[in-house]
């Protein structure tokens, strides 16, 4: 029997790491402890800008996606490339992610839908949200509302997005609990491995380490942590800021740390893969300061590791902490963040929160398996 075929798309190949468990599930290659959730029997292809390798796909395609919604020439080129790919491969299903990439994908799949292709869009955080800039509403809201007409199922990962999509968009809408924490990845690290990870990245055994994992962009707001922590860093040489990630704003944040005289206590090792679980577990406090966030996998991983957290007040973080303002700070209130950092360093237990068990990878995969079986048969 011929395999059924599904195409995953995202504007960046980097996003494929969030989709790998789903791709494995459809291919039937999930391993323990998730093996029982395998579906199998699917050919899984991936289309993106292909700026880095994509794993767990049968075939990988390069599409000239652009990130900016205003890159109209590039969007037309990507639309044509993607439409040709979809029409030639006769996919049974398409599962698309990321705002601009998903809009281009859904327009390109209009004809295929008439021939039975099912189109699923997982929204990891609309760019229009309560308090968003007016331009976001003018650009993204209109585009998403139109693309919803070519969508068989829209999946959201937070309550605010779910309510808005359910009310405003002409397509079925479901909500799942994010991409899920791979608890098996963290459960198998040892204290020795955690100590070794600290040492490898220049962290002393008695350092108090504040960790933040995110791509360096304006939205992720890393400069706020440097500014808020600077006076505390100058008082305490054992305090360290560990920034995990890369991106266009990395040099700006490094320059800010230099200008404030705290660069020696700010570490920028890039993305960590092999030692990531051990390194995070060895930290003392986790922050996520993004202006806009769909949910926040890094925060959830930190909670699973038992770390205290301080996060900015946005829809995704509010869902995680269930609106508890003790853990929340405005993304523009540097003084309030400084105050909370001082409190959390002195009384870390006060900023700990029980990990919400609904946010496990096992639960996320179970939710998606049910959705796939219902929509795709």
Exposed/middle/buried for residue 144 (C-beta within 10 Å: 0-12, 13-18, 19+)? buried
DSSP state letters, 64-128:
---SSTT-HHHHHHHHHHHHHHHHHHT-SEEEEESHHHHHHHHHHTHHHHHTT-EEEEE-S--S-
Any idea which residue has 């098996």 for tokens? 184
pLDDT, one tens digit per residue, over 20-63 is 999 999 999 999 999 999 999 999 999 999 999 999 999 999 99
Any idea which residue has 């008439």 for tokens? 114
Say if residue 1's pLDDT is above 80.
no
Q: Are 105 and 93 in contact (CB under 8 A)?
A: no
Say if residue 214's pLDDT is above 70.
yes
d(CA 53, CA 360): 26
Average pLDDT of the chain to the nearest whole number: 96
Peptide linkage before 90 cis (omega within 30 of 0) = no
Any idea which residue has 């990878």 for tokens? 361
Say if residue 70's pLDDT is above 90.
no
For domain 4-180+360-376, the question of CATH label 3.40.50.2000 is answered with yes
Which tokens hold the place of 324? 């508890």
d(CA 341, CA 285): 9
Which candidate, 241, 335, 331, 242, places its Cα nearest to that of 293?
331
pTM given for the model: 0.92
DSSP state letters, 184-218:
HHHHT--HHHHHHHHHHTT--TT-EEEEEE---ST
Q: What's the whole-number mean pLDDT along residues 213-240?
A: 97
- Domain pair 4-180+360-376 / 183-357, same fold: yes
Q: What's the whole-number mean pLDDT along residues 261-268?
A: 98
Domains of the chain by residue range: 4-180+360-376, 183-357
Which candidate, 369, 375, 371, places its Cα nearest to that of 26?
369
Which tokens hold the place of 374? 């219902």
Q: Class assignment of domain 183-357? A: alpha beta
pLDDT, one tens digit per residue, over 141-173 is 999 999 999 999 999 999 999 999 999 999 999
Which tokens hold the place of 114? 């008439």
Say if residue 2's pLDDT is above 90.
no
Residue 163 vs residue 67, higher pLDDT: 163
């Amino acid at each position: 029997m011929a395999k059924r075929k599904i195409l995953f798309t995202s504007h960046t190949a980097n996003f494929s790491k969030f989709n790998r468990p789903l791709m494995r599930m459809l291919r039937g290659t999930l391993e323990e402890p998730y093996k029982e959730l395998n579906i199998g029997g699917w050919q899984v292809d991936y289309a993106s800008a292909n700026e880095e390798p994509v794993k767990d796909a049968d075939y990988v395609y390069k599409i000239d996606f652009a990130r900016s919604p205003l890159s109209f020439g590039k969007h037309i080129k990507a639309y044509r490339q993607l439409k040709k790919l979809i029409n030639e491969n006769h996919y049974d299903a398409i599962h698309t992610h990321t705002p601009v990439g998903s809009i281009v994908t859904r327009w390109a799949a209009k004809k295929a839908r008439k021939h039975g292709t099912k189109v699923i869009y997982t929204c990891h955080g609309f760019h229009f949200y309560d308090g968003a800039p007016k331009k976001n509403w003018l650009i993204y809201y209109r585009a998403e509302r139109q693309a919803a007409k070519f969508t068989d199922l829209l999946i959201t990962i937070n309550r605010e997005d779910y309510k808005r999509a359910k009310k405003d968009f002409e397509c079925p809408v479901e909500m799942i609990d994010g991409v899920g924490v791979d608890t098996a990845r963290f459960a198998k690290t040892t204290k020795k491995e955690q100590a070794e990870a600290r040492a490898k990245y220049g962290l002393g055994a008695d350092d108090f380490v504040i960790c933040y994992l995110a791509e360096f962009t304006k939205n992720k707001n890393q400069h706020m942590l440097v500014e808020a922590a600077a006076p505390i860093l100058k008082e305490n040489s054992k305090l360290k800021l560990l920034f995990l990630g890369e991106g266009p704003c990395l040099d700006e944040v490094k320059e800010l740390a230099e200008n404030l005289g705290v660069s020696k206590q700010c570490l920028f090792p890039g993305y960590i893969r092999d030692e990531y679980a051990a390194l995070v577990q060895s930290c003392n406090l986790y922050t996520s300061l993004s202006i806009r966030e769909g949910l926040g996998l890094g925060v959830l991983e930190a909670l699973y590791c038992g770390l205290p957290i301080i996060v900015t007040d946005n829809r995704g973080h509010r869902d995680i902490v269930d609106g508890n303002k003790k853990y929340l700070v405005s993304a523009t209130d540097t003084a309030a963040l400084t105050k909370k950092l001082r409190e959390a360093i002195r009384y870390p237990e006060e900023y700990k929160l029980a990990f919400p068990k609904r946010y496990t990878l096992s639960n996320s995969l179970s939710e998606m398996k049910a959705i796939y079986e219902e929509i795709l048969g």
